[in-house]
Amino acid sequence: MTSYPTLLETFKQLLKGSGFKFTKQRELVLKVLYENEGHFTPEDLYNLIKSKHPDINLGIATVYRTLTLLEESGIVNSISFGSKGKKYEMGLKEHHDHLICIECGRLIEFQDETIEKLQEEIAQKFNFKMTDHIMNITGICEACQTASK
Amino acid sequence: MTSYPTLLETFKQLLKGSGFKFTKQRELVLKVLYENEGHFTPEDLYNLIKSKHPDINLGIATVYRTLTLLEESGIVNSISFGSKGKKYEMGLKEHHDHLICIECGRLIEFQDETIEKLQEEIAQKFNFKMTDHIMNITGICEACQTASK
DNA sequence: CTGACTGCAAAATCTTTGCAAAGAC
DNA sequence: GTCTTTGCAAAGATTTTGCAGTCAG
């Protein structure tokens, strides 16, 4: 797992390389994502940052803009919830996929080497230049199955 | 592949079973999805139905309501495009996954037996009652790769 | 300094909802 | 007849954009 300073450096390099600037707001979005394990909506992040750093000025628009930037750079990943928006997570650990509970919204991560390999093969087969891949299994988690009995 | 009359019958049964009513609008959403191969946004479907059946009254809200119904019944599937909404397709053929071009939005379908099996195993491993599973590979399709050269 | 970035509020999207009229059974 | 469904328009929710002031390099 990449350490925060290293990650920060990577981010700065990326910004510099594209002629973008390093700002307090951008750093905070990255930091909060790094320090908090989990999946967050843009609003979650906005509130988190506001509560942990009441001193700084921050608009929700900046959170959206920064997340887009981070996602394009491959630093964070997003997962879509239909009309319920997106959630974001740090994308530097090994690639993994998600089990999503349709009852409680819980997210469980898993990874499977074989699936990863198959995805690459498929992309190749269609002459597709793969930039990302996601697999979501939706269903009802153990807890919710028990609860509804 | 299920024939349309059979499909329609299934739909009627489902409605009756839940105390819902069979209406012209609901039938048309199903029919247009059945007759047109591909993936559609609610608005696409609304326009398609309006143009093919100018006589009938139809509101976009009904299309949304019907699609939700059809998806819950497992008759259609949806695929999410982040903040760009959802697309729907008939869900009765064999399960398949998607390659999504981030340049032109093109959707390519594929299926892979091994992946299907692995997904089931994973769900089982987490005591997850799987209701659906999707795998999307995003990237740049062959045509767009060529175009940008 | 200069051009990128920010917050704000307004706008744009996409989707859902309340309600009176219409329709299915 | 009764209860669901519909269309419409208004409301919601989420995300994006325009702009003038601010800040990084």
Domain with CATH 3.30.1490.190 in chain B: 97-147
Is B56 (CB) below 7 Å from strand C? no
d(Cα B65, Cα B21) in Å, to the nearest integer? 13
Predicted local distance difference test score (pLDDT) of residue B60 = 97
Q: Which CATH number fits domain A4-90: 1.10.3210.10, 3.40.50.12640, 1.10.10.10, 3.40.50.11030?
A: 1.10.10.10
Helix (H), strand (E) at residue B135: strand B129-140
Stretch(es) of chain B classified as CATH 1.10.10.10: 4-90
What's the pLDDT tens digit per position in B48-97?
999 999 989 999 999 999 999 999 888 998 888 878 889 999 875 667 78
Q: Residue A16's pLDDT band (boundaries 50, 70, 90)?
A: confident
From CA A62, how far away is CA B82, in angstroms rounded? 18
Is the pTM of the predicted complex or chain greater than 0.75?
yes
Asked if A126's CB is within 8 angstroms of B110's CB, the reply is yes
Mean per-residue pLDDT of chain A? 86
Q: For residue A116, give the 3-state DSSP assignment.
A: helix
Mutate to test the interface with B, among A111, A129, A148 (most CBs of B within 10 A): A129
Interface test with A, best of B122, B124, B130 (most A CBs within 10 A): B122
pLDDT-based confidence at residue B98 (cuts at 50, 70, 90):
confident
CATH homologous superfamily of B97-147 equals: Ferric-uptake regulator, C-terminal dimerisarion domain (3.30.1490.190)
